[in-house]
Each structure stands twice: as C-alpha cells, then as structure tokens.
Chain A
Amino acid sequence: MEGLYRFLEYTGFANFTFGHGIMIIVGLVFIFLAIKKDYEPLLLVPIGFGIILGNIPFIQNAGLNLGVYENGSVLRYLYFGVLSGVYPPLIFLGIGAMTDFSTLISNPKLMLLGAAAQLGIFATFLGSIFLGFNLNEAGAIGIIGGADGPTAIFLASKLANGSNGNLNLIGPIAIAAYSYMALVPVIQPPIMRLLTTKKERVIRMKPPRSVSKVEKIIFPVAGLLLTGFISPASLPLLGMLFFGNLLKESMVTERLAETARKPMIDIVTILLGLTVGASTQADIFLTKQSVLIFILGALSFMVATAGGILFAKFMNLFLSNENKINPLIGSAGVSAVPDSARVSQLEGLKYDKNNHLLMHAMAPNVAGVIGSAIAAGILMSFLL
C-alpha cells in the first residue's frame, strides 16, 4: 500500500498546479495556431510541444533528473545549446545559406531601412529600464524589437541567463519574440495604414537591376569585414550568416550550402524550439516580469515597424520621383524574414493589384537581420 502511495506522489496529477494548467493550454494554443492558422508552424509546433513537455508536473529534485533546470537530465543537455548560445549562430549559418541578398545589393540604399527599424530595440531597451529591469535584463528584452528569434535567444543567453544577479529571462524573451514574429501579419498592417497615405501606398518602385556573381561573392566577405571590425561582438551571428551566404554564392560548395540550409538548420530548429519551449516551466515562467516582457515585446514590434516606415518617408524627401521608395516596405526592416516582406507585398496589392513589392521588401528585410545582429553585438559590448 505504501508503494502505491509513493507511486501516486510521483504522478503528474499529484504535482499539478494551476500554473502548469495555464502553460499546457498556452502550448496547445501554439500548436493550434501553427497547424490550423499556419502561423510559423516550423517554430510554433516545436515550441508549443516543448511548453507542454516542460510543464508536465513531477516531483522536482527527487533524483529523477527530468526537467530542463535539473542537472543531468537529457533536456538539460539539449538546453545547453541555448544557454551557451550555440544554436543561434548555427541557425544563422543556415539562414545565410538560404538567403539571396541580390535585391539588397541591387538597391543598397534600402539597407538604411533595416537600420531605421532597429529603433524598436533601443526604444524597448529604454522602456525596460523605466519598468525596473537592470541594464543587462533591459538589453536582453530590447532585442525582441529586432524581430529575430535566434538573435533574441543569443543575447538573452549572454545577458539574462540567471547568473551575476540577473534574472533568467531566456524563456519569456524567446516565447515573446517568436509569438510576435508569428503575429507580424496581425501587428503590422494597422500601423502601416496609419502612417502612410493612399498616394504613398501605390508608389511603384524601379525594378531591381541584375546583380553579377562577383557582387554576390564580394557581399558576404565585405559585409563580414565591415561589420566584424566595427562590432566584433556580433561576429558569432554575422560571421556565420555571411559564411553561409558565401557557401551558397560561391557555387563551388553546393553540398555544404545544401546541408546548412536544410538538414542542419532543421535539426537545430527542432532542438532550439523544443528546449526553449520546455524552459517555460510554470514556476519560472509565470511571473510579473514575463507579463511585462510580453507588453514590451508588442510595443517594440510596433515601434520598429513605425521606425522603418517613417524613415522610408524621410528618405523620399531627398529622392527623385523615379527613385522614390514605397513606405510600405519600410516595415519589412524589422527582420522577421520573410513574413514582414510578405505583409508589405499583400498590403501593396490591396491598393494596386499590379504593384508587387515583395522583391523590394526583401532588401530591408535581410538588412534588418544584419542590423539586429549588429545591435545585439553593440549591446553585448556595452553590457558584458
């Protein structure tokens, strides 16, 4: 009989709390959104399942070594890639190997939109300070505005990993970043309509010119040298991004590029999504700080979107009529590749059925990836 009681003590039912219930529902909502609504399924399915996995109740510190926060557990070993910042650079390698920078190279002035949209990062950084977070935690929260999941996890793992008196905010930051990335089609359009006139939304941009192979090969090398020398702290991310791109564009390492953009990025995405999801254990995740992070995250996406659009309008003041920029593509500077570029395309088509903005929007979109990684490097060099 005593054995039966002991067994019952170990079951999930005996250890269930209200918090576990909430988190399991959150995980189910993620999976529902991914499968039914097709919102970033490659991310939300592993994260949603990870949330459920991490919130199955069990007796902690009973020597079972099950949870992501218990030394010796399998999940802990897999989570090490998040804690140590190993997974995000590997994802950047894959992104580099699948990204075509042609549109950016053909119209390089659109890089500035990618820089302008980083306003979201720094505005959120300031906002977090005013809400009582310390500098390191604020830096980690601010990067949500970069709309780049791997960059957010990378910076959070360095600045707010639970050591040196900082809170462990990796879970809430990652969940906020990926949730809002999935919600880009919902968050951005109202801001785009609010900040642009009908006349601006139908601006037709000059078709991009063809880009030579030489330019495509020079881009990752020059990009690495320039960004690396000015902001060396961004090297783990940008080094891998540009390396991946060189593998793709050199055309002589197709096998490596193929591995980086398909099997490798898939494996790392599975491990990253699952362990980040599992790190949202109710007792650690359901805090006042997490609620504040979610509010700040939403604001950061809005500010970043507005920053890109307003800067496009500002640039138009100095551009000739034939070189004018459709401000709708400014919102794509927030990164979130390729969803925000797709939003620009769809919004543009609503006002002119023959005005295809996707190609143009991809330029600030990939510039946003570079910009947010540089911003992460700058925050690291200031705060570490």
Chain B
Amino acid sequence: MDIDLILKAINITVIGYIIVFVVLFLLYLSFYYLAKLLESQAKERCRRAGKNKCAEHDKFSVDSDTTAAIAMALYLHFGETHDIDSTKLTMKRESKRYTPWNSKIYNVIHRL
C-alpha cells in the first residue's frame, strides 16, 4: 500500500469534510442573523403601526398537529380529484312527453 497515496487521501478527507462543515455553518450563521434582523425590523414596523398588530404577528405559529391535519386534508382533497370519469351511466327518466302529435291532450293534462 502506497503510504503517500494514503496520506494524500487522508488529507483530502479531513480538509474536504471541514470545508463542507464550514460552508454550511456559514450558511447557518447568515440565515440565523438574517432572521433576527428581519424579525427586529418587523417588530419595529409593528411597534410603529400599533401594539395589537404586533401581538398578532408574534402569536403566528402553527403547531405540528395542525400542520399534519392540514396536510391530511389536502391529501384527501387531491386524492378525490381525478381526471378519469366513472364509466357508470345513469338513465334519467324524461317526464316531459310533449310532442306536436299529442298537444291537445297534453295541454288538458298539464295546465300551466
């Protein structure tokens, strides 16, 4: 086994894994502080607009059970929509039997 090759591979492994962590850690920091910044801006806007609106904003949060219920409702809803029609035919009895040939008796029976 070539020792140089192994050392090179270990070098790539360590540096590579650290870089992956660093990139995602930086991305984490960026969005952690971006969220804080946007939140403080939103609070500031709310504070200017009035306290009630702020409270509503702070309260907005959906728990996992509610989200799961919404997801299930959507799943069921979309499960019901389909683009293939049922092939069952239902015959509807036509009650209107008017023809010009029986117009007289028709008018006797069916008075407006």
- At the interface, yes or no: A138 with Cβ under 8 Å from chain B? yes
Residue of A109, A114, A115, A354 with most partner-chain B CB within 10 A: A115
Q: How far is the CA of A205 from the CA of B63 in the complex (A)?
A: 10
Tell me which residues across on chain A come within 8 A of B1, comparing CB atoms: 130
Judging by beta carbons under 8 Å apart, are A382 and B35 in contact? no
Q: How far is the CA of A231 from the CA of B30 in the complex (A)?
A: 17
Given contacts A214-B38, A231-B19, contact A379 B12 (CB under 8 A): yes
For A349-384 the 0/1 string (1 means CB < 8 A from B) is: 000001110010000000100110011001100110
Shortest Cβ distance from residue B41 to the other chain A in the assembled complex, whole angstroms = 10
Interface size class of B (residues with CB under 8 A): 35 or more
Residues B9-25 near A (CB distance < 8 A): 9-10, 12-13, 15-17, 19-25
Given contacts A122-B13, A125-B13, contact A109 B32 (CB under 8 A): yes
Judging by beta carbons under 8 Å apart, are A378 and B65 in contact? no
Residues A108-145 near B (CB distance < 8 A): 108-109, 111-112, 114-116, 118-119, 122-123, 125-126, 129-130, 134-135, 138-139
Contact among B6, B8, B28, B35 with A111 in the assembled complex (CB-CB below 8 Å) = B28
The number of residue pairs between A and B whose CB atoms lie closer than 8 Å in the complex comes to: 118
- At the interface, yes or no: A12 with Cβ under 8 Å from chain B? no
Contact among A116, A207, A218 with B34 in the assembled complex (CB-CB below 8 Å) = A218
Given contacts A231-B23, A356-B68, contact A138 B31 (CB under 8 A): no
Shortest Cβ distance from residue A227 to the other chain B in the assembled complex, whole angstroms = 6
Q: How far is the CA of A112 from the CA of B18 in the complex (A)?
A: 12
For B62-79 the 0/1 string (1 means CB < 8 A from A) is: 111101100000000000
- At the interface, yes or no: A226 with Cβ under 8 Å from chain B? yes
Judging by beta carbons under 8 Å apart, are A126 and B13 in contact? yes
Judging by beta carbons under 8 Å apart, are A354 and B20 in contact? no
For B35-75 the 0/1 string (1 means CB < 8 A from A) is: 10010001000000000000000001111110110000000
Tell me which residues across on chain B come within 8 A of A212, comparing CB atoms: 38, 42
Q: Say what secondary structure dominates the interface of chain B.
A: helix
- At the interface, yes or no: A223 with Cβ under 8 Å from chain B? yes
- At the interface, yes or no: A222 with Cβ under 8 Å from chain B? yes
Tell me which residues across on chain A come within 8 A of B30, comparing CB atoms: 222, 226
Shortest Cβ distance from residue A126 to the other chain B in the assembled complex, whole angstroms = 6
- At the interface, yes or no: A49 with Cβ under 8 Å from chain B? no
- At the interface, yes or no: B5 with Cβ under 8 Å from chain A? yes
Contact among B24, B35, B68 with A112 in the assembled complex (CB-CB below 8 Å) = B24
Q: A130-B6, A230-B19 are in contact. List 10 more A-B contacts (CB 8 A).
A: A119-B17, A130-B1, A135-B5, A207-B67, A210-B60, A212-B42, A223-B27, A355-B64, A356-B67, A375-B20
